[in-house]
Amino acid sequence: MGNEWGPLGALIGEWEAEGGLDTAYSHGEGKVLGTPYREKVSMKPFGPVDNGSQHLYGLDYKTAMWRGSEENPFHTEVGYWLWDAATGEVLRGFVVPRGITVLAGGTATADAVEFTLKASLGDDQYPIGEGRYLTTHASSLRYEVTITVAEDTWSYRETTMLKMKEFDDLFPHTDHNTLHKVG
């Protein structure tokens, strides 16, 4: 795929992984759980999208994660990744169907094999949005993800800092996985 997608070019395709690990507070079990998961990610290229003099190239993405052999995924995301070659800005806008939207941003070089995107609640530039229930019970204050690209694989490591009723301190909800190309 051409250079138009900058550091996102390496993410284009269909991807699968077995070795994900989620750390979250499980309300079902009443404790913090480490949950292994498998994942399927689809990243479809599009572009350019023109905002006046800005030209963005993007990936239309969806991902889903399953525990073991369960039929329905326990976590999904839909959204877009965007690259602005003129400024080196990378954006990842997505929805988590718990009532959360995230527009995470950062900068990278066109040939970067590692880059970090961040968002936080109330931020003017890269905000997190959430519904009323989560604001009261489990508010997502900060989100950070680091992407690392290698040959025919890419990995993410992400942390969401949650203000939860169950804990006095902020709770780090973490996820990581390494995706392998299947198409």
Give the footprint of ligand HEM on this chain (CB under 6 A). 22, 24, 26-28, 35, 37, 65, 74-75, 96, 98, 100, 102, 128, 134, 137-138, 140, 143, 160, 162, 173, 175
CB of 55 to ligand HEM, least distance (A): 28
Decide: 105 and 91 in contact? Cβ < 8 Å: yes
- CB of 134 vs ligand HEM, minimal distance in Å: 5
- The structure tokens listed for 151 are 């040959």
Q: How many helices (H) and strands (E) does the chain have?
A: 1, 11
Whole-number minimum distance, CB 39 to ligand HEM, in Å?
A: 7
Nearer to ligand HEM, 8 or 24 (CB): 24
Least Å distance, CB 142 to ligand HEM, is 9
User: Least distance (Å) from ligand HEM to the CB of residue 88?
Assistant: 23
Q: For residues 22 and 84, which CB has a smaller minimum distance to ligand HEM in the complex?
A: 22
Q: What's the token pair of residue 61?
A: 């993405």
How far, in whole angstroms, is CA 39 from its chain's centroid? 13
Nearer to ligand HEM, 57 or 171 (CB): 171
Give dist(CA 56, CA 81) in Å, integer: 10
Closest contact distance (angstroms) between CB of 137 and ligand HEM is 6
Cβ distance to ligand HEM smaller for residue 5 or 156: 156
CA distance 154 to 112: 12
Q: Which is nearer to ligand HEM, 57 or 90 (CB)?
A: 90
The answer, yes or no, to whether the previous bond of 48 is cis (omega within 30 of 0) is: yes
CA distance 28 to 31: 8
Residue 62: its H or E element: strand 54-66
CA distance linking residue 85 with residue 90, whole number of Å: 9
Nearer to ligand HEM, 27 or 44 (CB): 27
